[in-house]
């Protein structure tokens, strides 16, 4: 008997047997297929040789992305400004005013909301 093993060998044997059984029953491991990098929908140029019907659909999709970008940016900016102002009033110094904090929080949240909105328009097409 090895000195590093505990005296009660029954739980250890059961655990080793369960581990060996799990390894024996496991199937072959396969790597997951990862999609390669894709350009953003905001930076892709439309091909010039499309038919008018396809171009109309593409213009509609790009206007949907623009609309969601603007809505996400506006909602994010308003919510971010409100959160920044609230944090400043509650935890910051109220003597200096909270306009600057609300502006920074609102700008950051508007950028984040716009990116999320534009990405959701691309995901809605799939």
Q: pLDDT exceeding 90 applies to what percent of the chain?
A: 17
Is the pLDDT score of 43 beyond 80? no
Supply the pLDDT for residue 16: 83
Task: For residue 106, tell me if it sits in a domain.
Answer: yes
Task: For residue 114, tell me if it sits in a domain.
Answer: yes
Task: For residue 63, tell me if it sits in a domain.
Answer: no
Task: For residue 58, tell me if it sits in a domain.
Answer: no
Residues 6+ apart with CB under 8 A from 103: 81, 84
114 touches 76 (CB < 8 A): yes
Residues 80, 72: Cα–Cα separation, whole Å: 12
Domain extent at residue 89: 84-126
Which pLDDT tens digit goes with each residue over 21-39? 777 777 776 666 677 777 7
| CA dihedral of 113, 119, 121, 123, whole degrees rounded to 10 | -140
Residues 6+ apart with CB under 8 A from 81: 102, 103, 105, 106, 109
Q: pLDDT exceeding 70 applies to what percent of the chain?
A: 63
Task: For residue 94, tell me if it sits in a domain.
Answer: yes
Question: What's the total number of domains in the chain?
Answer: 1
Task: For residue 112, tell me if it sits in a domain.
Answer: yes
Task: For residue 117, tell me if it sits in a domain.
Answer: yes
| Residue 59: its H or E element | helix 52-91
Is the pLDDT score of 76 beyond 80? yes
How large is the angle between the packed helices 52-91 and 99-124, nearest 10 degrees? Answer: 150
Task: For residue 28, tell me if it sits in a domain.
Answer: no
């Amino acid at each position: 008997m090895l000195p590093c093993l505990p005296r009660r060998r029954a739980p250890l044997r059961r655990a080793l047997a369960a581990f060996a059984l799990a390894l024996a029953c496991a199937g072959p491991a396969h790597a997951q297929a990862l999609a390669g990098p894709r350009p953003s929908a905001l930076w892709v140029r439309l091909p010039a040789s499309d038919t008018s019907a396809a171009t109309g659909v593409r213009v509609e999709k790009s206007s949907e992305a623009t609309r969601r970008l603007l809505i996400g940016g506006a909602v994010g900016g308003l919510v971010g400004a409100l959160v920044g102002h609230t944090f400043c009033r509650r935890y910051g110094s109220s003597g200096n005013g909270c306009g600057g904090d609300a502006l920074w929080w609102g700008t950051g949240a508007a950028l984040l909301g716009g990116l999320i909105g534009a990405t959701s328009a691309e995901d809605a097409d799939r």
